[in-house]
Chain A
Amino acid sequence: MASGTLAQSGASVVARRSSGVWRDAFGRLRRNKLAMVGLALVLLLVFMGVLGPTLAPFPYYAQDIEAITANGFRPLHPFEPLSMETGHWLGTDELGRDSLSRLLDGAQISLAVALVVQIVVLVIGMPIGAIAGWFGGRIDNILMRFTDVMYAFPDLLLIILMSVTFRNTWLGQQFNGLLLVFIAIGLTSWVTVARLVRGQLLSLKEIEFVEAARAIGVRDRNIVTKHLLPNSIGPVIVAITLGIPGAILAEATLAFLGVGVQPPRASWGSLINEGVRYIRSDPHLVLLPAIAIATSLISFTFLGDGLRDALDPKLKGKQ
């Protein structure tokens, strides 16, 4: 009996240790109200992005000529009697297209930006930064000069050049030409993560625990993957979550400049671009997509901030 209890408690201790860091982190994340707000908004964006087009009351390209004629050929404003009557709760644009439906379609674009760009960034940035930081010397030099070349490119210019150059290829045809824009944004955004990981490794590898690991004969690969990368994951997560707003911002900026998504499809940035002309008479055409962009940027920022506080084990017991 006694030995059985001992064995059980021993087993539970081991189990707790192996999942402890992440479980503790999740517990801390759940207690962080802002992070939970962020997570809720991120889930809302995911929900809107995945289901939005099916939930939308109208197709994003459909013009309601009758409603707009009844309004004297002017855009319907949100929550006006005529808007509620015709079902355009958030109003329409100057062509009678439903604002809510266009916003929902834009959510899909923003969600896709967030995902695809950060995957490209992680897949390229982490290994390059880790290899450069760990090996140092010649390899570091070559990789960092390579990132210098990438870094020295004007982002906007490279993205626009690539999207114009490859528009007629297979890649340029995917997802209304947006996939090409996403990959182009990713190809210009990984440098920050690579430099961050390299910087972390440079300073971490001089710390005693690495020396200790080396002294007991841990292989280089395991030191990097088991000791250095987990210890530098906090800043990387902050950079990645901060990178998501960055990517959404980049797409919105391009769309605002009229590059990327082709009409009639519109991302939030191109909605603002179209609405700027009517800012005085119909401010909702700019304000609604601006609020949508701001909300999505804030949500990832809150979540990233919460993750940072939750994942940093050095914070333990200090809060």
Chain B
Amino acid sequence: MASYLIRRILWIIPVLFAVSVITFTLMHLTPGGPWAREKRLHPDTEARLNAEYGLDKPWHEQYVDWVADFLVLDFGPSYRYVDRDVNAIISDGLGTTIQLGLMAFAVSVIVGIPLGIFAALGHNKAPDYASTGLSIIGIATPSFVLAIILVLVFSLGLNWFPATSSRWGDWHAWVLPTIALAGYPIAQIARYTRASMLEVTRKDYVRTAQSKGIRQRAVVVRHMIRNALIPVVTILGPILAFLVTGSFVVEYFFGVPGIGRFYVQSIGTRDYSLLMAMTMLYAFTVAALNIVVDVLYAYIDPRIRYS
């Protein structure tokens, strides 16, 4: 297990390398550059700027420069925000984005798993319909539509929570973005849990446990839920990834001061260094989360062995 883990962690390096090469190539194939403005800069100015930022060198040299800086975690100056470097921009918003993601993840798991279990236990009865109905609403409502509805009801209507979350220090500002972000994952987790529980219900060991005369409660808790949650763990990875990208839309809509909004913005403005930093950060996060999920998978299901 230890050697497996070390190998997996070392594998992050080639993953990051591949991601950086692909992004770097696509980025430089894209027409336009960071200096494109409505009013064109004087060619001399542009040339001087290119020289200043090293953009006049051939691509492979630029890439090597970038890797050298990346190895000491220096993401360089932003091409758009002249007074700030990329490290400062990211460290300002990263905590907020992580906090929002973790809150939404906690809400998704805490609400989603019981919802799926109740649905399966009352298969084709009222609990099933109620919980399936809820998860269908969750799946059918994109986060930005959910956000619009939440703001209409809870900010403009009831005035309970602020419509914008730019003042992040106040916990009231956390509620609506968290719910908007968690709606879809709750529904996904509930559906997978339900499907997996229904699968488990028909397993021999459940019938054996029941015929031994074990109380139904114990059968459900000890035999069914424990086994049913194994496949659910596999979708936690995609869900965490969804929360990271999904945070962009929600942060954009509520004005949350995280880093999500820089994803798309940096492409539009050809802010190469910010774009590369965002991609690497995301890629690293997802790769690390994948390892955690796989280890968790082996831990809760002893039948699965990595070697």
Which residues of B from 175 to 220 have beta carbons under 8 Å from A?
184, 188, 191, 195, 198-199, 202
Measured between C-beta atoms, what is the minimum distance from A226 to chain B in Å?
22
Residues of B contacting A266 in the complex (Cβ-Cβ under 8 angstroms): none
Does A76 count as interface, using CB distance less than 8 angstroms? no
Residues of B contacting A152 in the complex (Cβ-Cβ under 8 angstroms): 15-16, 19, 282-284, 286-287, 290
Does A113 count as interface, using CB distance less than 8 angstroms? no
Contact of B140 among A235, A276, A280, A301 (CB under 8 A): A301
Residues of B contacting A138 in the complex (Cβ-Cβ under 8 angstroms): none
What is the predominant secondary structure among interface residues of chain A facing chain B? helix
CA distance A279 to B144 in the complex (A): 13
CA distance A36 to B290 in the complex (A): 37
Q: Beta-carbon contacts of B252-296 to A below 8 Å, as 1s and 0s? A: 100000000001100100000001001100111011001000000
CA distance A305 to B156 in the complex (A): 36
CA distance A210 to B105 in the complex (A): 38
CA distance A259 to B263 in the complex (A): 13
Does B26 count as interface, using CB distance less than 8 angstroms? yes
Query: A18-26, A117-125, A154-162: which one contacts chain B?
Result: A154-162
| CB within 8 Å: A-B pair count | 134
CA distance A51 to B247 in the complex (A): 36
Measured between C-beta atoms, what is the minimum distance from A170 to chain B in Å?
15
Number of interface residues of B (CB under 8 A): 58
Contact of B244 among A154, A161, A165 (CB under 8 A): A154
Report the 5 A-B pairs with minimum CB-CB distance, sorted nearest first.
A152-B283, A294-B140, A297-B140, A154-B282, A298-B140
Contact A202 B304 (CB under 8 A): yes
Contact B26 A162 (CB under 8 A): yes
Contact A154 B139 (CB under 8 A): no
Residues of B contacting A319 in the complex (Cβ-Cβ under 8 angstroms): 124
Contact B139 A301 (CB under 8 A): yes
Contact A164 B267 (CB under 8 A): yes
Does B174 count as interface, using CB distance less than 8 angstroms? no
Nearest opposing residue in chain A for B242, CB measure: A155
CA distance A201 to B238 in the complex (A): 19
A151-B286, A293-B145 provided; 5 other pairs, C-beta below 8 A? A148-B11, A148-B15, A199-B231, A257-B252, A298-B140
- With contacts A154-B278, A162-B26 taken as known, whether A308 is within 8 angstroms of B195 at the C-beta atoms is yes
CA distance A142 to B290 in the complex (A): 16
Contact of A149 among B18, B29, B275 (CB under 8 A): B18
Residues of B contacting A195 in the complex (Cβ-Cβ under 8 angstroms): 234
Does B58 count as interface, using CB distance less than 8 angstroms? no
Does B134 count as interface, using CB distance less than 8 angstroms? no
Residues of A contacting B156 in the complex (Cβ-Cβ under 8 angstroms): 280
Which residues of A from 272 to 319 have beta carbons under 8 Å from B?
272, 276, 279-280, 286, 290, 293-295, 297-298, 301-302, 305, 308, 312, 314-315, 318-319
CA distance A279 to B5 in the complex (A): 51
Contact B245 A156 (CB under 8 A): yes
CA distance A256 to B14 in the complex (A): 34
Residues of A contacting B139 in the complex (Cβ-Cβ under 8 angstroms): 242, 245, 297-298, 301
Central interface residue in A156, A276, A279, by most chain B CB within 10 Å:
A156
Contact A238 B267 (CB under 8 A): no
CA distance A319 to B128 in the complex (A): 14
Measured between C-beta atoms, what is the minimum distance from A183 to chain B in Å?
14
Contact B202 A318 (CB under 8 A): yes
Does A249 count as interface, using CB distance less than 8 angstroms? yes
Residues of A contacting B235 in the complex (Cβ-Cβ under 8 angstroms): 192
